[in-house]
Amino acid sequence: MKFRSAIVAFVLTSSALSGAGIAVTADSASAATCTKTSSGTCIKGGQFCPKAKYKKAGYDAKGRKYVCKGSSSHPHWMK
């Protein structure tokens, strides 16, 4: 009987831990929603943006919105 209780406790504990793992995965997924530069990092305010992104919005790692604007020949990510 004690063996069965130990198995039930193990299953409940491991399922609770896997639930916490899902929360961590969701947090890392939200970080991946930033707009990436050509080098693969998240954009930052003031950085040059590609001419193809001119007048389009993008998001940094903290979720702040930037628009690619300024000179159409040398646009930057600006709030």
The full set of domain ranges for the chain reads 1-32, 35-79
pLDDT values of the chain reduced to their tens digit, one per residue, 79 residues:
576 666 666 655 555 545 544 443 444 444 558 999 999 999 999 999 999 999 999 999 999 999 999 998 999 999 9
Note the pTM of the prediction, 2 decimals.
Answer: 0.58
What 8-state DSSP symbol labels residue 35?
A: P
User: According to the model, what pLDDT value does residue 41 have?
Assistant: 95
pLDDT of res. 7: 67
User: Within 13 A of 39's CA, how many CA atoms are on the CB side?
Assistant: 7
